[in-house]
Chain A
Amino acid sequence: MDNLFYGSLTISLRPQGGAAVEEAYAQTLNMPLGLTLKMGRFFSGIGYLNQFHAHHDDFIDRPLPYRALLNNQFGDDGVQLKWLAPTDAYLELGGELLRGDAFPGGGAAFRGAGTWSAFAHTGGDVGFSNSWKGGVSWLQTRPLRRQAFDNNGNAIGAFSGRSKLLVGDFVWKWAPNGNPINRNFRFQAEAFYRIEHGLFGAVNPTAAYDGRQFGWYAEGVYQFMPRWRAGFRHAELRARNSGPAVAPGGVLDSQGRRSWRDSLLLGFANSEFSRIRLQVSRDASRPKVDYQLSMQYLMLLGAHGAHQF
């Protein structure tokens, strides 16, 4: 925006009409001591995939843990402070203080400071051809009467309490001699552990609830020739919820079932601005195994800035 600040605005148009502001933030460029402050509405810096807009993904949809634990992508209003260590080895520490209105939060507790996060990332190169980045993140929020809905949009319950999420992420990129144009490979994996305890109820939170959920995904995408790439992703989710609020056979009872989903991808990208992909998925996240075929085209009009690593 000027020499002191960088800004970004992302507005999406809903198919049913209306617009939603996905991101609208300003970021400092000139703070001393290696600090960067971001303020506004933005996607949280936890994990790896969360900060990227969905169009940047190689796969058509977000992995299962993202969909279940972060409602596809976690973003909220607030501030983020990052510190980059003055070392030759990359080390970044960050923290956020957010409003607490977005899932897994809800109700903007503590007068609008209901969610906070902390994360640390490190990374480096291995030779000319490989680079990697990994980190650990913590997301803690205090939902107040957070609503849950079923697939038909009916409210099935409200939860008040504490929600804590631990995320570990890792990405490895390979390109022959550091040149990703013709061939390159990316491996990416994240693991999630969520603990929630508080009260849950059909209308008002009344019964005690203790939820432990664990999920992870790993994906590999290989660009085997210019413009063409193929990928595979496996994702899993498990829940162990307990307490009086968990009625046997009810919505909170996972019945010891393990949910998973496999996706196979074929992508064609003539340039950064026109991309077509085909994805086949075997979805076992619901009681009945489901096969899904999706095709997506992504066309970008106008200038587009570079993405992060």
Chain B
Amino acid sequence: MPFTPIVRTDKHRASTYNSRFEEIEFSLGLLPSLARIVGWTDVSGLNEISIAGIASTYEALLFTCLLHDGNTLLTFNDVVPFDPNSLYSRRIMLNNGTTGFDTNNGGVSLEVAASTAVHQCPTTLWVTNIQGAVKHWHMSNAAVRDAGSGLGDFRQTGGLCIDPGAITRINVLNTGDPWSTGSGYALYGLRG
């Protein structure tokens, strides 16, 4: 209880009440530093996510999603995929003990596996230094398959996005079948 209760002997004047309000205001300093930009949003039946107008007050972003099916690419500031200037580079590490490196991916590939419709693939993507010239991002995701087609993939990916502009927009484009029931996403901002 972050305030001192008023007692009958306290004088009925402004300072009595203001001091309690100030105690509660001090507690409000615990307001979240991880702010919700877009709350959990259902994307079943859709092929695209478009988030614009991301404020410049954030130092980092957390994008989380649960998606089923489709070849899915996430880009910052709506840069055209497969841009020959190769703005994205990454190293990926897979559960099968292999690793890959590329500098021409055109975006952050979410690599959502196609499988039984009820299976969704979770992803967490941290993007830091979003106001700077080189964004550093890290992603964990799992492409779960049903037992009949074998084990799924678990991946860790680290990467860079070289774009002189601050990130103000995120687009996610699915060029395959629309996302199934249960797919969704959320975006949070970590304040500087």
Say if A and B assemble together. Answer: no
Chain B residues within 8 Å of A, Cβ to Cβ:
none
